[in-house]
Amino acid sequence: MSALKSSGLGKKFVLQTDVGRHPLPQPMRRTSKHRIDHNHGLWGFFDQDRSALMTPEALSKHGRAWTVAELRKKDFDDLWRLYWTCIREVNRINTYEMERSRLKIHFGEHEARLRLEEAQKTQKAIKHALTERWYQFESARELAMGDPEINLYANHENGEPAYLPSQGDVFESIEDASARKEAVRTS
């Protein structure tokens, strides 16, 4: 068959345009035998719309990194949640990067790198804040171990006091102070 020589189908070849007795096959709907859990943890590797890629505009919409001064005010549970949020964010960005390199798409690299840097800065700040807390705890524990008035091994469930004031303590209890004031008034 040649368009230049104006040769079409040969005598032996007949182009059939009528399906005749046989109807065209209908495509079947693909149904999976597996049920998909829409709350599965692996969906954390994707954005809310569960797309494989994010646009550069969506990638550039992010906040700044947390500072160590801000994180010092947070309790351990908040720091733990924030750290795992950062881990999910880093994994999500790395998933987008792998998909982008697989498809040989070059848009969004700069935005993804900036977003990744902010998440990693927050992770470093959390580690810094927790390291500071650990050193402060160790310093306080060493001071308490050297103080005879502090019982580090007190069993609070059995009512053992952790603070054992010595007899010559300069602080007096509230009852003693009020009794002394009353005695001064009556005299």
Mind listing the pLDDT tens digit for each residue in 98-153?
999 999 988 889 999 999 999 999 999 999 999 999 999 999 999 989 888 888 88
pTM above 0.75, yes or no: no
Q: How many CB atoms lie within 10 A of CB 89?
A: 19
pLDDT of residue 19: 63
Q: How many CB atoms lie within 10 A of CB 67?
A: 13
pLDDT tier, 169 (very low <50, low <70, confident <90, very high otherwise) = low
